[in-house]
Each structure stands twice: as structure tokens, then as C-alpha cells.
Amino acid sequence: MVDEARNIFLNNKATSVLPKSIPVLFFGDLSNYWNPYPRIITVGRNPSFQEFPLNQWNCRFERSEVILRKLTGNSENWDDEARGLYLTSLKKYFATKRHKWFQLGFGGFLEGMGKSYLPLSPSNVVHTDFCSPLATRPSWSSLGDGEKKVLMRDGVHLWYNLETYLDPDIIVISIGNEYSEWLMGRFTVVQMDSYPYEATIGRKKVTVEAKLFQCERGNKTKWFVEIPLLQNPFGVGVTNEAKKTIAKSIRSRISSAR
């Protein structure tokens, strides 16, 4: 999959992809991800251009300048050492200058699930992107349909391969209804539960819902948590305590089904 991510980056035809960036196969430390049940991944659409700021594009991923040089060099440069350097950079993301989006969005919810993105935690969460591993400017919501189609042609296939490898028990998604339905399309929904909460849209408080889907594929049960994407996962004005409360309810529901 590392080579697949590299090939997607090198063969990309979308004009919105940042030239000074690297493909992000995943974010986070895998070392504690494999700990006992439940394994959790979170899912966005594609890496933000803010992962590679214009004034210091290489600040978030360790040695990204060297990695980019090896990525775009000849095949002899892309050896096992280069692959190891790339994977180490991804694994150390949350130990360096991680973007605040993760804590603002999923942070409180993951705490309620007893999980964390942070390294050295007893059980790590890994973040992935469904539509593409490539960062774009503008952000995904402002891209034209043609650009999205080009990026998703290879990006979605890569994500399904990554999901198979990571084999999570719980997949927390905040990508919009259209992509959520696509992502879950390979699974059979057995049951759905709703968890309403209040968020601010414009100047109004509105009631929206997080949803929990119990799904099956073969003999395997997987749980999908669909979080509304309202600027950030959950939306504006939702406290960490509110997110923890939702998470604890979902955690209890999943535990009761085992």
C-alpha cells in the first residue's frame, strides 16, 4: 500500500494537489493500535492543505523534505529505507505539530470511547481518508466534480485496501452522507441507532444526530459511527463533554451486543 500511495501521488492528474506535500496513507502510531478489542479508525475525506502550510510545508511530517525527494526520484531511491522513513513520518504525526482539527473534531468523542490519537496511550486510534491520500488546495468541499472524480478513482480503492489491512472493529466517519453511503456500501446494515444532540448552524441551535450502524461482512461484525460534518465533525458549539456523553452511550451499546 505504501507503493500504491506513491504511485497515486506520482501519477496524479488533479491540478489541485499540493506539489510540496506527501501522500498521507494514514495518520498515527500503529504500535498500540493492534491492542485488544476494540480497534478504532477515524475517517475524513482527504488531508487538509493545512497539513502542509505554505510558509513551512514540511513542519508536520518528520523529514518530509527528504521523503518527497525520494518519492519523486528514480525507482532506486525508493528502497526499503525510504519506505521505512515514510512510514515513521506518518506514525509520528501526532507526536509533532499535529493540526488542531483532530482534537476539535474527534478528540472528546475518542476520550469517551477510552481511546486517543496520542502516542504512548494504551490504545491508539489511526486516522484515514476515504476519498484520497492527497492534500488539495482548495479544500475538498470547494473542488469541482471533475477534480473529485480524478482523486477518488484511485483513492477509494486504496482506502478499502487499508481498511482490510487495519481490520478495525469500529469505524468513525465524518465525511458527509453521500460518501458515508458509498463507504458502507460493501457492508450489510443489521441495525441503526440514533444519538441526537444540539449544534450551532449559522446563529441557530439545531438538533442533529450521530448514528451507529451495526454491520456485517461475511462472519465479521463491524460498527460504523456516522458523525455529522458541520465545518468540523459534530459541528460548532458542541462541547467535549457532550461528545464524551455520546461516545459513552455508543460504547455501552456496542458492549451490550458482544
pLDDT at 204 over 90: no
How do residues 225-251 score in pLDDT, each as one tens digit? Answer: 999 998 889 988 899 999 999 999 999
Q: Are 148 and 131 in contact (CB under 8 A)?
A: yes
Say if CB 172 and CB 42 are below 8 A apart. yes
Give, for 194, the enclosing helix (H) or strand (E): strand 188-201
Residue whose grid cell is 460518501: 179
- On whether residue 166 sits in a domain, the answer given is yes
Residue 237 within a domain: yes
Q: How many helices (H) and strands (E) does the chain have?
A: 8, 8
Residue range 99-120: average pLDDT?
88
87 within domain boundaries: no
pLDDT at residue 32 in the model: 86
Q: Is residue 198 part of a domain?
A: yes
pLDDT of residue 47: 97
What separation in angstroms does the CA of 184 have from each of 130, 209, 213, 225? 11, 18, 9, 11
Residue 16 located in a structural domain = no
Q: Is 64 helix (H, G, I), strand (E, B) or coil?
A: helix
Q: Which pLDDT score is estimated for 42?
A: 97
- The answer as to whether 78 is a domain residue is no
Confidence at residue 96, expressed as pLDDT on a 0 to 100 scale: 80
pLDDT in tens, 115-149: 999 877 777 899 999 999 999 999 999 999 999 99
Describe the chain by its helix, strand, coil percentages, rounded to 5. Answer: 40, 20, 40
The reported pLDDT for the residue numbered 241 is 93
Cα separation, 114 vs 96, whole angstroms: 22
**Domain assignment of residue 154, given as a range:** 25-52+99-256
pLDDT at 256 over 80: yes
Residue 86 lies in a domain: no
Predicted confidence band at 39 (pLDDT cuts at 50, 70, 90)? very high
- The type of residue at 114 is G
Residue 80's pLDDT band (boundaries 50, 70, 90)? Answer: very high
Dihedral pair phi/psi, residue 33, rounded to 5°: -65, -35
Mean pLDDT of the 184-212 span: 91
Furthest C-alpha separation in the chain: 57
What mean pLDDT comes out for the span 197-210?
86
Quote the CA–CA distance of 210 and 24 in Å, as a whole number: 27
pTM score: 0.95
In a domain, 231, yes or no: yes
pLDDT tier, 35 (very low <50, low <70, confident <90, very high otherwise): confident
**Residue 202: pLDDT over 80:** no
Q: Which residue has the higher pLDDT, 98 or 160?
A: 160
How far apart (Å, rounded) are the C-alpha atoms in residues 228 and 210?
A: 6
> CATH no. for residue 30?
3.40.470
The mean pLDDT value of the chain amounts to: 93
Cβ contact 208:235 at 8 Å: yes
Closest by CA position to 195, among listed 140, 237, 235, 250:
250
Helix (H) / strand (E) element for 212: namely strand 204-217
Residues written for the chain: 258
Q: How many structural domains does the chain have?
A: 1
CA angle centred on 82, ends 78 and 86, rounded to 5°: 120
